[in-house]
Structure 1
């Protein structure tokens, strides 16, 4: 296990830094590939879902939860 890795992703035309552990980056990249989407498009979709919540979590947390829930389906 290793700590978070910070990467920049473009969402809605601006750069956003996201810190995720490598295992989450790998899962996110695999899911983007499976859906035939660029990584930034998948992150944008997750972000759009996140901001509709009453008390939205930060983006990194939302990605982790989304990946977990997606894996449980």
Structure 2
């Protein structure tokens, strides 16, 4: 039996940032990575997304929230020498 494919359309989920609900569409691979990152940071997903959102807003040319989450996860992965899920 082969592993499930990483190619899946985005899934929309609701998150709460600073008391406001918003929806974010990410591929399941990124939702899984975000859950794992939140767990290793000792934070709820909403709190981690709020941190990513604050960093994104402070950037000179802020991307959309979903892109910011993907970029944050990729930067984290690269900072950990490509070790998926490694603690920083």
TM range (shorter): over 0.9
Residues 1:36 and 2:42 are matched in the alignment: yes
Which structure has more relative contact order (CA 8 Å, sep 6+)? It is 1
How many pairs align? Answer: 73
Relative to the length of structure 1, the TM-score reads 0.98
Structure 2, unmatched stretches of 5+, are: 1-6, 80-88
- Once the two structures are superposed, residues 7-40 of structure 1 have per-residue CA deviations (whole angstroms, 9 ceiling, x without a partner) of 0000000101000000000000000001110000
Runs of 4+ with >3 A deviation: none
Question: RMSD of the alignment, in Å?
Answer: 0.4
Matched residue SS, 1:69: helix
Q: Which entry has the higher C-alpha Rg, 1 or 2? A: 2
Query: What is the aligned partner in structure 1 of residue 62 from structure 2?
Result: 56
CA drift of 1:60 comes to: 0.2
| TM-score normalized by the length of structure 2 | 0.82
